[in-house]
Amino acid sequence: MPSSGFKIGRIFGIDIVINITWVLILFLLAISFGELFRTYSTDPGGFNQPFPGGIWPWAAGTVTAALFFVCLIAHELSHSLVAKRHGVEVKRITLFLFGGVAEMSGEVPDPGSEFKMAAAGPGASFVIAGLFFGLLFLASYLDLSTVILLPLRSLVELNIAVGIFNLLPGFPMDGGRILRAIIWKKTGDLKRSTRISTIVGKGLAVVMTAGGLYLLFANFTVAGIWLIFLGVFLYLLANASYKQTLYNLAAADTKVDDIMFTDVPVVDAETTLTNLRLQYFGPYRLPVLPVAVGGSVTGIVSEKDLEGVASAEWDLLNAGRISKPIPVEKTVPPGTPLTEAMKSMKSFNDFILIVKEDDILGILSKQELLNYFDMRMKLQKK
Ligand SMILES: [Zn+2]
């Protein structure tokens, strides 16, 4: 999933992340708006005065692009807030191209929730369009300058366009999720409904790309490039989202016991830190290890804590000195679904201990997850 980017803020406990493509998009949008506004400086169209020339179209274009960007965040946030209300945790929103992706942990619980979550975004876009229409109405009533009126009208049109575009019935667009929810409700089969709506999504992407090529050759260069861009992007996104869904479904079927590392060595509390490194962390590559006093586990020692101690002291201190009690939130009982366990992991470098009545049965860390996803990937290719 194209989810890398930089964080610009946090709203309602959700990180807002900007994909690097967005810098380019913002720039292209500002120029597109500027270019549009500039044409109104020679012919005012339906407005009673022309758009001022010089720097004005570009300045207004940049402001409009920035406002549009806020509208997209509102669109994504409305998905996330509805998701949260239905018990789906949203970690962050990544914005790219004409929308974004609300990154949810795991899959949606039921078709009804999916339907509401998906519909919330386009709904928000239409409401925002309505708000800007109200402002436009007020501004024209007050006979304000075209510098105000034209950007407002553009924002009305663009938000309507975003609402409609996102309602296209191809997964993973909102309309595709709505379609999936409807098929899911009818068939009870999430996998099949995802596959069908993904095929529709890819079909739409191909049509868009073809339409873009046609426009390109018909000399509507800018519109053509936008459409090709969107088509290719949507095709890749449909593929990635489908795989993600299969992963999530498979992870929901898998129990921690199936993939955990079971031969976890127990470190005696008397072990020096030098030996802890040489005999344990070196060969085992686990982020934490259980520490025992006289055979019974009393806590854990982490590689991070070991690295926090100056190496000059490694021969003088023992594992018991830097061990900590087992954090309850880092333990799950055997039989826990993998998706459930992964929710307790903050990152890929984190860990989960599988514990039954003070016995550490196994550990789940980066290596186990990598092996698991690698295996799933190979199975899918067959
Ligand atoms: Zn949306």
Q: pLDDT tens, 360-374?
A: 889 988 888 888 877
1 occurs within a structural domain? no
Instruction: Output the CA 14–ligand 1 centroid distance in Å.
Output: 16
How big is the CA angle at 365 (ends 360 and 367), to the nearest 5 degrees? Answer: 125
71 occurs within a structural domain? yes
Instruction: Output the CA 125–ligand 1 centroid distance in Å.
Output: 9
Q: Which of 253, 278, 301 is the last residue of a domain?
A: 253
In this structure, are 228 and 294 located in the same domain?
no
288 occurs within a structural domain? yes
Instruction: Output the CA 93–ligand 1 centroid distance in Å.
Output: 11
Instruction: Output the CA 370–ligand 1 centroid distance in Å.
Output: 30
pLDDT at 233: 85
Instruction: Output the CA 147–ligand 1 centroid distance in Å.
Output: 29
In this structure, the strands spanning 352-356 and 359-364 are: antiparallel
Distance between CA atoms of residues 48 and 99, nearest Å = 34
211 occurs within a structural domain? yes
In this structure, are 216 and 88 located in the same domain?
yes
Q: Which of 93-97, 99-103, 356-360 has the highest mean pLDDT?
A: 356-360
In this structure, are 107 and 80 located in the same domain?
yes
In this structure, are 299 and 371 located in the same domain?
yes
238 occurs within a structural domain? yes
In this structure, are 43 and 179 located in the same domain?
yes
pTM confidence score: 0.68
Distance (Å) of CA 202 to CA 90, 97, 195, 199, 205 = 26, 17, 11, 5, 5
In this structure, are 270 and 180 located in the same domain?
no
Q: Which of 199, 228, 253 is the last residue of a domain?
A: 253
In this structure, are 30 and 49 located in the same domain?
yes
Instruction: Output the CA 123–ligand 1 centroid distance in Å.
Output: 9
For 142-189, where are the alpha helices, taking DSSP H only?
Answer: 146-166, 174-187
Is a pLDDT exceeding 90 seen at residue 173?
A: no
Instruction: Output the CA 132–ligand 1 centroid distance in Å.
Output: 19
Rounded mean pLDDT, 102-106: 57
Instruction: Output the CA 124–ligand 1 centroid distance in Å.
Output: 9
Q: What are phi and psi of 374, to 5 degrees?
A: -60, -45
In this structure, are 89 and 76 located in the same domain?
yes
Token representation of residue 93: 């929103």
Rounded mean pLDDT, 73-86: 87
pLDDT at 21: 73
Is a pLDDT exceeding 60 seen at residue 207?
A: yes
- Whole domain around residue 337: which residue ranges? 257-381
Residue 46 burial (CB count, 10 A): 10
Distance from CA of residue 245 to its chain's centroid?
13
Instruction: Output the CA 194–ligand 1 centroid distance in Å.
Output: 17
User: How many structural domains comprise the chain?
Assistant: 2
pLDDT at 1: 38
pLDDT at 136: 92
Q: By mean pLDDT, which of 224-233, 282-291, 370-379 is the weakest?
A: 370-379
